[in-house]
Amino acid sequence: MIVVRHGESTFNVKRIVQGHHDESLLTETGEAQAREVGIFLKGIAIDTVYCSPLKRAARTAALITDTLNQGHTPQVTDLLKEISLPLWEAISFADIEAKYPEEYQAWRHQPNDFKMAVPQANGTVKDFYPVRAIWHQAAEFWQGLLDNHRGQTVLVVAHSAINRALVGTAIGLGPEALNRMYQANCGISVLNFPGVWGERAQLESMNSTSHTGAPIPTLRRGFKGPRLLLVRHGETEWNRESRFQGQIDIPLNDNGRAQADQAREFLADVPIDGAISSSMMRPKETAKIILQKHPDVSLAVTEGLWEISHGQWEGKFEHEIEAGFPGMLEAWQTKPETVQMPGGENLQDVWDRAVKAWNEIVAQYSQQEAPQTVLVVAHDAINKAILCYVTGLGPETFWQFKQGNGAVSVIDYPDGVGSKPMLSAANITVHLSGSIFDTTAAGAL
């Protein structure tokens, strides 16, 4: 499932709430962004296209499909309409914050409990929970879609809140997570569903924006805390062989160094204020290559970001693990939170030290007056644990986040260490493959 937000709209520029209001149209920039999505997705065989009926999304879908030139006519559905905010629509955010201060704070910080007292035709007032409603709407959309399009590639074009609800419901997040994800204008996300509704999806990537001219999403207005660029190390020879490496200190191979070079160029124009890496060779070398474009930034290292210890599995291939430890590999691949690596760690061990190291980094870079951008380079399991943590998910969701070699994710802290983080982008690999899809080596951890 390829999920796209509409292009920049007239209300976006004026910072006016849109919701179901349908006077907001694409700007010239928004139209150009939509065409860029079409160009970027060319070469991908798309089976069908769905879109919201609201003008800004419908126009975006039309421009994308015209550019794709695959003969699609977008199917319009009300289930992709933007969140309904009946008391706020067509009003500026500044006026809403002044007129509805308590509701606005709930919208920003407690979206699951955010409600509107909406007057009814009979003169009564009814409490309406907009975020809960959009979550229910997203689940209803997915259920119908998956029943009808198994095994197909589907393009969905909609809006900011409904797209966050689509991602959230797919990976198991509730309405409280609305503001822990970001969707930029014409940002592209990819979800892989294993089968029927009810089986959680894998988030292959989220909010890729390089096709619009921004390698990573622009920092949102008013954010005061640090921005962390979470990168997985480049490929090693053991990744390529699908051999479990864990805490055996394997260096990058030639392709891994090339991936680090590509990440360096991708992030060349992104200001970086600090850098921290796992002290193992493969992430440390990746970080040093990226920092060649940022010579004034020194690299700190920590054992807190070391890869998971696989214990007796390290150095082995899957068939050797299955022979020596029957059934454990399948458990690791299906219920990772239940597995104690023989002679190594379990996922909770990894979780505890990764989160501790991560929070120390956030705290360190929350002390400055201006927002700091920090490069953090680590490993597959570490990065997955961090991504689960920042979105509010637990160890049981470990496999729902993909991490390619050399991939970049972006996590923002609106108000620093005490605020809830926002996942602004996840597993961006376009600099490695030129595609929205992650084609890096799968490899063992």
Report how far residue 428's alpha carbon sits from residue 334's, in angstroms, rounded to the nearest whole number: 25
Burial of 94 (0-12, 13-18, 19+ CB in 10 A): exposed
Question: How many Cβ atoms sit within 10 Å of the Cβ of residue 326?
Answer: 9
3-state SS class at 46: coil
Q: How many CA atoms lie within 13 A of 416 on its CB side?
A: 10
Q: Residue 429 corresponds to which tokens in the numbers above?
A: 């690999």
Buried b (16+ CB within 10 A) or exposed e, 277-300: bbebebbbbbbebbbeebeebebe
**Ligand-binding site membership of 237 (annotated):** yes
Alpha helices of 42-92 — where are they, by DSSP H? Answer: 55-68
253 is in an annotated binding site: no
Closest CA to 294 of 274, 310, 279: 274
Q: Catalytic positions, please? A: 233, 307
Q: How far apart are CA 21 and CA 100, in angstroms?
A: 19
Whether the Cβ atoms of residue 360 and residue 391 lie closer than 8 Å to each other: no
DSSP letter assigned to residue 110? -
Which two structure tokens, joined as six digits, stand for 176?
A: 């409280």
Within 10 A of 140 (CB to CB), how many other CB atoms are there?
A: 14
Judge whether 234 is annotated as a binding position: yes
185 annotated to a ligand binding site? no
If DSSP codes are grouped into helix, strand and coil, which group holds residue 414?
Answer: coil
5 a known binding residue?
no
List beta partners, residue 189. Answer: 3
Question: How far apart (Å, rounded) are the C-alpha atoms in residues 105 and 111?
Answer: 9
Which neighbouring-strand residues pair with 3?
Answer: 156, 189
Q: Is 282 annotated as ligand-binding?
A: yes
Query: Quick one: CA dihedral 205, 210, 212, 217, positive or negative?
Result: positive
Residue 350 phi/psi, 5° resolution?
A: -60, -45
**239 labelled ligand-binding:** yes
51 touches 43 (CB < 8 A): no
Query: Is 72 assigned a ligand-binding role in the annotation?
Result: no
Annotated binding residues, written as ranges, equal 232-239, 282
Give the annotated binding-site residues for substrate. 232-239, 282
